[in-house]
Amino acid sequence: MSGQPRSDIPLTETVQKGGCAAKVSASELRKILAQVQFPTPHEALLVDGRHFDDAGVYRVTPEVAMVQTLDFFTPILDTPSLFGQVAAANALSDVYAMGGRPVTAMGILAFPLATMSPDVIVQVMQGASDKVAEAKANFVGGHSIDDDTLKFGLSVTGFVHPEKIWTNAGAKAGDHLILTKGLGTGTLTAALKRRELSEEAIGEAVASMATINNVIDHLSQEEAGAVHAATDITGFGLSGHAMQLAMASDVSLRFQFTKLPILENALKMLGAGFLTKAHRSNREYTAAALETSGLDHFQELLLHDPQTSGGLLLSVDPAMSSIICSRLQTAFPRTSVIGEVTAAGTKRLYFEA
């Protein structure tokens, strides 16, 4: 009945923007943060937000450091359980990007009680709970508010050895660059929202977004130690997150476009004009640092495509890149060596056709 809470409405129809495409633009965020006076860091704080790392890290003991992160967003998919899975996988990813393992998760929920049935959030939370269980972590509580728009995510805490932390500041000239998931979730979900494609038609992208980025359990200690820097690719796109890694490490990154893993129909949807605001803001954010000679317009758009629960970008010892890539392909079939690290040049990012 009209005016009654509903459980059948496609979730993407309830929001203007969804997933990591709803992030505040990186340029705007940097301006805001530059005006905030943060407390003087405690000596046990090993990683903070100065380099736009994926999570904070605080040393608890000489052998244990705590990894903390928080991520939430509006619906990117129509099916509530799938949205919950993707939101959870996306939040858990930040701990994995630091080389850690998640141990606890707390839910963050804004829910329109007047227009949506509670059945919807039950399904969202069950999807998230299933992913937390898959990560062998514990769902320990959370906080909720009544709001006009559905938003959901997790605050996640994990552990890592203080001497085995991955950050985005350790890339070395000569390293190979590995990406563990395909690109294109931004344009594909934009096409879903505008009813050009169905969830079934973007099944590869849905499965990719719902896959937790647990790479650490697929690597030996030696292989994990060969990872010099890492970040996950989310709302700022490959271009934005790669630029932040290059800046933090004071290096340049060279990519070969033909080696990028690209999700099915992603380039087609970019060509058809299924874009988000983040495609523009990510391009503006990276414009001064980016060289893309040889790429066409739609190939360049892919670099700026805002990913939700995207892959990890790893900068690894070149002697170990083949074995690391092979190991990760068992769980992440799109894993590819996509480029290399060089000494800092006139640009931070170089993409060759």
Q: 154: burial class by Cβ within 10 Å (0-12, 13-18, 19+)?
A: buried
CA atoms within 13 A on the CB side of 350: 14
H or E element in which residue 88 lies: helix 80-97
Q: What are phi and psi of 142, to 5 degrees?
A: 160, -160
Residue with tokens 């932390």: 165
Tokens of 149: 């728009």
| Distances in whole angstroms, Cα of residue 6 to Cα of each of 20, 80, 318, 337 | 25, 12, 54, 46
Catalytic residue numbers, as ranges? 20
What CA–CA distance (Å, rounded) separates 26 from 183? 19
Tokens of 53: 């790392």
